């Protein structure tokens, strides 16, 4: 880990935000939006596994069986992969973590990784979405093969069928968005991941956001929470009409 300087320019350890919620609760979508509003590095453990899968690495081969069935990848594998990604960053880069931690041992390992890299967990954003809504969202979710942005056949259809509105690449239905895998993913969310709510509530860093109020409302709530601790990306002012 690059620990040559382990503090951000304001002298405090660099902040890390956690996006927490069930599969399909909007973590990826909102991480992406927040990265365009704040200076954040987006780390999604699901995306890291899928990159390894697509590149046929040993890690990808190992993870495939878990991803296909909707089970969680074993903690030691997931933690080692995240540690490797953190090693690549500069110590002052702020991070938004999407999909990690998902178990109590991962939360304990994250605390160690935070110490090791001179960072601190600043806020946990919990996107609360009902199971019924999750099942209905995932049944029709489409993901872009190139930029990974989601669309939805029912609620947010792409302008051109099968094509990503943002980058023009092909959209696909994730193999683990099939009903059997979604059932398994929700089961492990309730059994292994939900206990983290109490864990972070006890530390007074959990912020619950109703994930069913629409994307603008969710983004506004998340944005207001991160504004306390994270640097905004300066907005470029619209050009002014020239004086005559």
What residues act catalytically? 27, 102, 141, 174, 185
Query: Does 137 engage in binding with ligand AMP (CB under 6 A)?
Result: no
Query: Does 200 engage in binding with ligand AMP (CB under 6 A)?
Result: no
Q: Which of 14, 34, 40, 72 binds ligand AMP (CB under 6 A)?
A: 72
Distance from C-alpha of 76 to C-alpha of 67, rounded to nearest angstrom: 16
Query: Does 189 engage in binding with ligand AMP (CB under 6 A)?
Result: no
Closest CA to 95 of 130, 155, 43, 135: 43
- The answer to whether 140 touches 152, Cβ cutoff 8 Å, is yes
Helix H or strand E segment including 114 = helix 104-117
Distance from C-alpha of 115 to C-alpha of 98, rounded to nearest angstrom: 19
Q: Which residue is nearest to ligand AMP (CB)?
A: 46
Of the two residues 8 and 206, which places its CB atom closer to ligand AMP in the complex? 206
Size of the site for ligand AMP (CB under 6 A): 17
- For 5, 41, 49, 53, 94, the CA distances from 38, given in Å and listed in that order, are 22, 9, 25, 29, 9
Q: Which of 46, 91, 118, 150 binds ligand AMP (CB under 6 A)?
A: 46
- The answer to whether 142 touches 159, Cβ cutoff 8 Å, is no
Token pair in block for residue 78:
């997931």
Distance from C-alpha of 89 to C-alpha of 64, rounded to nearest angstrom: 26
Closest CA to 184 of 73, 30, 31, 18: 73
Query: Does 66 engage in binding with ligand AMP (CB under 6 A)?
Result: yes
162 Ramachandran zone, left/alpha/beta (phi>0; psi -120 to 50): left
Query: Does 20 engage in binding with ligand AMP (CB under 6 A)?
Result: no
Query: Does 185 engage in binding with ligand AMP (CB under 6 A)?
Result: yes
Of the two residues 102 and 119, which places its CB atom closer to ligand AMP in the complex? 102
Query: Does 211 engage in binding with ligand AMP (CB under 6 A)?
Result: no
**Angle of CA points 29, 15, 212, to nearest 5°:** 30
Token pair in block for residue 46:
């699901």
Smallest gap, in angstroms, from Cβ of residue 73 to ligand AMP? 4
Query: Does 73 engage in binding with ligand AMP (CB under 6 A)?
Result: yes
Q: Which of 13, 15, 23, 91 binds ligand AMP (CB under 6 A)?
A: 23
Of the two residues 32 and 176, which places its CB atom closer to ligand AMP in the complex? 176
Q: Which of 99, 118, 150, 211 binds ligand AMP (CB under 6 A)?
A: 99
Smallest gap, in angstroms, from Cβ of residue 79 to ligand AMP? 9
Q: Which stretch binds ligand AMP (CB under 6 A): 7-15, 45-53, 143-151, 229-237?
A: 45-53
Binding site for ligand AMP (CB under 6 A): 23, 45-46, 49, 66-67, 70-73, 78, 99-100, 102, 106, 176, 185
């Amino acid at each position: 880990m690059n620990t040559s300087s382990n503090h951000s320019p304001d002298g405090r350890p660099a902040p890390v935000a956690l996006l927490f919620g069930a599969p399909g609760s909007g973590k990826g979508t909102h991480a992406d939006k927040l990265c365009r509003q704040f200076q954040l590095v987006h780390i999604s453990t699901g995306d890291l596994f899928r990159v390894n899968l697509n590149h046929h690495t040993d890690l990808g081969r190992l993870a495939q069986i878990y991803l296909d069935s909707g089970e969680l990848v074993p903690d030691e594998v997931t933690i080692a992969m995240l540690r490797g990604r953190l090693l690549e960053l500069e110590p002052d880069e702020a991070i938004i973590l999407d999909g990690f931690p998902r178990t109590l041992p991962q939360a304990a390992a994250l605390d160690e990784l935070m110490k090791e890299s001179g960072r601190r967990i600043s806020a946990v954003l919990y996107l609360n979405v009902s199971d019924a809504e999750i099942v209905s969202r995932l049944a029709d979710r489409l993901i872009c093969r190139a930029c990974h942005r989601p669309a939805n056949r029912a609620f947010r259809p792409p302008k051109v069928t099968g094509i990503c509105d943002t980058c023009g690449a092909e959209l696909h239905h994730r193999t683990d968005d099939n009903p059997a895998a979604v059932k398994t993913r929700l089961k492990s969310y309730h059994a292994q991941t939900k206990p983290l709510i109490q864990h972070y509530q006890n530390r007074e860093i959990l912020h619950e956001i109703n994930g069913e109020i629409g994307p603008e409302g969710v983004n506004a709530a998340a944005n207001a929470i991160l504004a306390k601790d994270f640097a905004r990306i300066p907005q470029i002012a619209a050009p002014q009409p020239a004086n005559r």
